[in-house]
């Protein structure tokens, strides 16, 4: 069969992009013909796929997205596929992989009333409605029960078109004997045995709640704060957060690294993963940290926060978010005698095969749906 995959841009360090890459890789492995439509591609190319770059000539992001949709639909009329799979919401999809949260929910709870009168709001509501609205036949692969609740609330009747897939943690994230890895990394970072390494990992610093993390680190008692090294790893512009750290007086405790391929080393060498995201469909890093034995502090707005609770691998701040709760939980987790229990619980949870099965399950679904459509 011929599968068409649509993604606005690909780079190797985003959760959405990693899901895309693994599913495409699985489809190629099954000998399907795969064509990818995208505007940009960073990183290694995958053998066995055709990449069609969709040009854009507008400075407006909304016009770029609409231009992308129009040009891809026109090309698919000439070069049809058995199934069209999108990793961004847009018209014309047979299946949407729901890497992003519900926009309608986000607009209601994270934006002011004025936002509903903007062109950006109208565009993204139109594109989300094209996937989940009452006149759509698009199926959606969702990542968590939290996503289901949101989409069914804002788009009543879409529930029968939603299919929840298991996590797709990479095999390289499986637990290993991390003693030497931890020792080497901490030596590389010039950390001693008394230092505490707090990590935050993920691209898109604003939505990941880096501002919340800096406030929490700044709230720590002086003696504890002196031991903390806060390391942010991800693909984004850090200037705003470096300025915030200086204002808070913790610039000497804060470092930023760009997205990188050796994240497991940092998970093995850290003392805590801090991830107070504003909104996150899944949050793979929560699971990656859990199975690596790194205790996790996160927010309940992350889809995979449920895995932290099931595993007993850390603490989850409730809704509505309160900065004081995050501050208190960070202090507690860095000083708690439960740290070894959180570590052991997470590593035990990581032994479940289902945590690594998403690409296979998603490819099975695409194959069966394409056959039914044919």
52 phi/psi in degrees, rounded to 5: -110, 110
Q: How crowded is the C-beta side of 173, counted as CA atoms within 13 Å?
A: 25
For residue 323, the model assigns a pLDDT of 98
pTM of the complete model? 0.90
Nearest Cα to Cα of residue 68 among 271, 60, 169, 152: 60
For residue 131, the model assigns a pLDDT of 98
Q: What residue ranges define each of the domains in the chain, with the CATH number in brackets?
A: 2-166+357-373 (3.40.50.2000), 172-355 (3.40.50.2000)
Copy the structure tokens of residue 61.
Answer: 């992001």
Q: Which residues of the chain have pLDDT under 50?
A: none
55: exposed, middle or buried (Cβ count in 10 Å: 0-12, 13-18, 19+)? exposed
For residue 333, the model assigns a pLDDT of 98
- DSSP alpha helix (H) spans, the chain: 15-29, 61-78, 103-110, 119-132, 145-154, 179-188, 210-218, 222-225, 239-248, 263-269, 284-291, 305-311, 323-335, 339-349, 358-373
CB 345 within 8 A of CB 312: yes
For residue 227, the model assigns a pLDDT of 97
Check whether the bond before 320 is cis (ω within 30° of 0).
yes
Q: Which helix (H) or strand (E) holds 232?
A: strand 228-233
322: exposed, middle or buried (Cβ count in 10 Å: 0-12, 13-18, 19+)? exposed
For residue 48, the model assigns a pLDDT of 92
């Amino acid at each position: 069969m011929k599968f068409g995959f649509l993604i606005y841009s690909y780079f190797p360090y985003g959760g959405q992009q990693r899901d895309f890459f693994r599913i495409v890789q699985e489809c190629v492995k099954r000998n399907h013909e795969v064509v990818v439509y995208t505007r940009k591609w960073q990183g290694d190319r995958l053998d066995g796929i055709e990449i069609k770059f969709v040009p854009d000539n507008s400075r407006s992001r909304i016009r770029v997205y609409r231009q992308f949709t129009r040009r891809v639909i026109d090309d698919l009329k000439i070069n049809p596929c058995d199934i069209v799979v999108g990793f961004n919401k847009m018209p014309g999809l047979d299946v949407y992989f729901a890497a992003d949260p519900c926009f309608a929910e986000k607009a209601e709870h994270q934006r002011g009333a004025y936002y509903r009168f903007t062109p950006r709001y109208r565009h993204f509501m139109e594109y989300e409605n094209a996937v989940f609205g009452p006149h759509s036949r698009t199926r959606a692969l969702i990542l968590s029960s939290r996503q289901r609740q949101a989409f069914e609330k804002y788009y009543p009747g879409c529930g029968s078109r939603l299919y929840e897939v298991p996590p797709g943690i990479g095999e390289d994230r499986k637990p290993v004997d991390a003693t030497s890895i931890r020792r080497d990394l901490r030596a590389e970072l010039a950390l001693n045995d008394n230092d505490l390494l707090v990590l935050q990992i993920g691209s898109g610093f604003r939505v990941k709640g880096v501002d919340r993390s800096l406030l929490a680190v700044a709230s720590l008692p002086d003696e504890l704060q002196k031991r903390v090294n806060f390391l942010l790893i991800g693909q984004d512009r850090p200037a705003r957060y470096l300025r915030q750290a200086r204002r808070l007086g913790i610039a000497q405790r804060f470092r930023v690294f760009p997205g990188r391929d050796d994240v497991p080393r940092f998970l093995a060498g850290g003392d805590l993963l801090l991830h107070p995201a504003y909104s996150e469909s899944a949050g793979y890093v929560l699971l990656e940290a859990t199975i690596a034995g790194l205790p996790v502090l996160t927010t309940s707005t992350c889809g995979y926060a449920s895995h932290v609770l099931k595993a007993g691998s850390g603490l989850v701040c409730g809704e509505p978010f309160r900065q004081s709760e995050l501050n208190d939980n960070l202090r507690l987790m860095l000083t708690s005698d439960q740290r070894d229990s959180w570590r052991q619980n997470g590593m035990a949870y990581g032994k479940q095969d289902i945590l690594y099965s998403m690409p296979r399950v998603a490819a099975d679904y695409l194959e069966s749906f394409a056959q039914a459509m044919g």
